[in-house]
Amino acid sequence: MPTRATRLAATVLVLLATGCPPPAKSPTVSLRLRGGPDAASVTVDDVPVGSLAVVRARGVALPPGVHHVTVVAPGYLPFDRRVEATQAPVVLDVAMVEIPD
């Protein structure tokens, strides 16, 4: 009579052999930024995602929900926006204001 471990191993092998599908990927929404200085740094939900030039070129994949986007650059006031990622791509025009002398 097969042991419990043998039955479990056989079940696992059958599942692997039948090609269980991989877990479904979570949906994401594209964040696109326009404007602003190339050297500016972008963070989303307090996580650095790269320079503004890179983010403009590639975008950022966001999970659905509300997110906080910050763009900072030397000589400029920070650009902060709260965005809601639903199904359509999110496009932000980054209008940074220079710090007055």
- What is the full per-residue pLDDT of the chain (101 aa) written as tens digits? 567 777 766 666 555 566 656 666 678 999 999 999 999 999 999 999 999 999 999 999 999 999 999 999 999 999 999 999 998 899 999 999 999 98
Q: Would you say 50 and 42 are in contact if contact means Cβ atoms under 8 Å apart?
A: yes
Closest CA to 37 of 70, 61, 71, 5: 71
pLDDT at 51: 95
pLDDT at 58: 94
* Domains, the chain, with CATH or none: 25-93 (2.60.40)
pLDDT at 13: 56
Predicted TM-score (pTM) of the model is 0.73
| Helix (H), strand (E), coil (C) string for 38-97 | CCCEEEECCEEEEEHHHHHHHCEEECCEEEEEEEECCCECCEEEEEEECCCCEEEECCCC
